[in-house]
Amino acid sequence: KARQLYPSEWRAYAFLVQIYAEQDNFAKVEEVIGMAPKDEMERLYLNSAYAYTIVGNVDKAVMVYKKVLQANSKSDAAFKFLISLLYDNHRYRDAIDEVDEFIKGKDPNSSELSTLNRLKAELIKEMTSPPKG
């Protein structure tokens, strides 16, 4: 009903996206996002990835973050959330691969590239360290 009354209000779509993501109904998530204003699609995909993370569907969350990055390779939010999710789930090799992908096309002299390379080094260190505890 809210979506019908306020078709340009992203929160109505976000609410539906979250409900369907929590029900693991990816088809409905896609349907709702397809009806939303185009300039809100990235935000809604990020919202759905967060909902998938909350319910423990890490693989689906990873898939959605990657989808955002395919559509917008400069999405810092999607990149940061994806790397954090992979790190938290000890998927260091996957995180390193995503950093490598994000690095492509960066200015070799940029401070951003330097930061990304430090992040990659930390991930490699974490991956090769003996388990804690």
What residues does each domain of the chain span? 1-71, 90-133
pTM of the model: 0.85
| pLDDT score for 7 | 61
Nearest to 31 by CA among 22, 21, 39, 121: 21
Residue range 39-91, pLDDT digits in tens: 999 999 999 999 999 999 999 999 999 999 999 988 999 999 999 999 999 99
**Residue in the structure block whose two tokens are 């360290």:** 129
Label residue 109 by pLDDT band (50, 70, 90).
confident
